[in-house]
Structure 1
Amino acid sequence: MSVTGSTLARRAFGRELRRLRTTKNIQMSEAARAAETSPQSISRTEDGVFTRLTSFQVNALCDMYGANDDERKMLLALLQEVRSSRERGGGWWRAYADAQIATGFDHFLSLEESANRFTAWKIGVLPGMLQTSEYRRALAWSEIPPLTAEAIEGRIELATRRQLRLEDPDFSMIALLSEAVLREQVGGRSVMGRQLAHLAEVTELQNVSLRVVPFTAPRHLGILVGSFSLLEFPELPQSKLTNPPIVYVEEYAGDLYLEREAEVRRYRDALREIGQVALDEVRSRQMILAAAKELGE
């Protein structure tokens, strides 16, 4: 398991503790007294944030919650997974902290690194894993003009590192793109032309599916929903638990992480509807190549 597996283990650990506590209608303050910790620590643990709960404390919570043997073993296994992965160090993106990563975006990076399936619908900008360095550089200058050249290059290196996921045969990516993504000349004609040429090359990867929704497509839900990504995860190696999928909605003023079943289902439905009006992979590649040719690539 990669070091980022701790993100998934923490989420699963906290989710199971919350389920047991609420099933017994026990307040956080009561749980905190049983585990000899603070209510804030119980809250943070249930939210998937790392806290230094010991095996003794977890067993005390299990006693209070009336956990059965299987539930107790699962929680202790999850706790061990959190510890093991944390001992191997933080996520690789920590080295890029000086690149002025947006607040909270490191959480998305940990989820992206842990996912084994990534589905995106984009209406204006390409997903990070598909961007060339020139394209990313142009976006960075537009996003935060005061950034230094050094900070910009740190962001470029970070984006390049993220693209290594596409080399993992156990990882798959589905990208649904509005035609507007192809037509928006980020960085100018030459930069965008090379970006589209790169995009055409990416379509040849076996684990990447790229489809375009043309301007001529029938009216669809994607225009109303806006850009979002769906991340799905493999089972944890020791506990064999599978984390629920997460919908990530990136907003200018802040990001949303949605994982309630009803919320995720609505976005899955949106993806299904968008897919029904998207071109197939062959015709999408043809459109990308035609757009690149128009720009001189």
Structure 2
Amino acid sequence: MSLALLLVPPLAWLVVAYLGSLAVLLVSAFWTTNSFTGAVVHTVTGDNIVRVLTDELFRTVTLRTVGVALLVTVLCAVLAVPLGLYMAKVASPRIRLALVVAVTTPLWASYLVKAYAWRVLLSPEGPLSWATGYSPGYGLVATVLTLTYLWLPYMIIPVFAAFERVPNHLIDASSDLGASDLSTLRMVVAPLVFPGIAAGSIFTFSLSLGDYIAVTIVGGKTQMLGNVIYGQLVTANNQPLAAALSIIPLGAVVLYLLAMRRTGALENV
């Protein structure tokens, strides 16, 4: 009884506030709008779903958004794995503490401050252009770089924790049996660390998939699903179409979670 009383409030909040809002989102995708007043009409129709699936613009934006999310995830993993390995197995306790502080400190800064800092940095007349003579400017490259910076800590932390859980005696045993460093990393360490990479990738993929502020600040004319949905909801005042578009990132995240689950990685996190 005491356990039930303890669990009822958070479960009720989950069902009402989260699952309830998702249910309303899915239902409203089948509504329509009055072409004259713009008011939502509670008439069931599949026109929005058909438009989302057949419109060339929406398909292009969807592919671009998923591609950016996957690229950001790969870049974060490439950066996080060597840093996590160094922090967990090589660095002294003092340096490890300093690196943990350096990784987590950006999480305390405002999202907008970090995004606008990258806007200044990537400006054609900004510090990067002064120092190197080249700047990618605002566009798809700037969006990928900014999102990689923003979500990198969410990859480093689980990867670092995964490396820290790898027993040192397994590494020593592999070395004693004649395995090279690369063989030890590939056959001993990598399978044990993969759950941490999988956990971090869920954060980086889902956060990049739903982001609409960074692409607005540094993306130039680049469009991603987040700001297209925002434009339909706020600018075009078409809530049903925005709801139908929102099903795409929701479905992509669910498919990604199922893919991670099939690898067996999530059960070990």
| Structure richer in strand, relative to its length | 1
Output the TM-score relative to the length of structure 1.
0.22
Output the TM-score relative to the length of structure 2.
0.24
| Structure richer in helix, relative to its length | 2
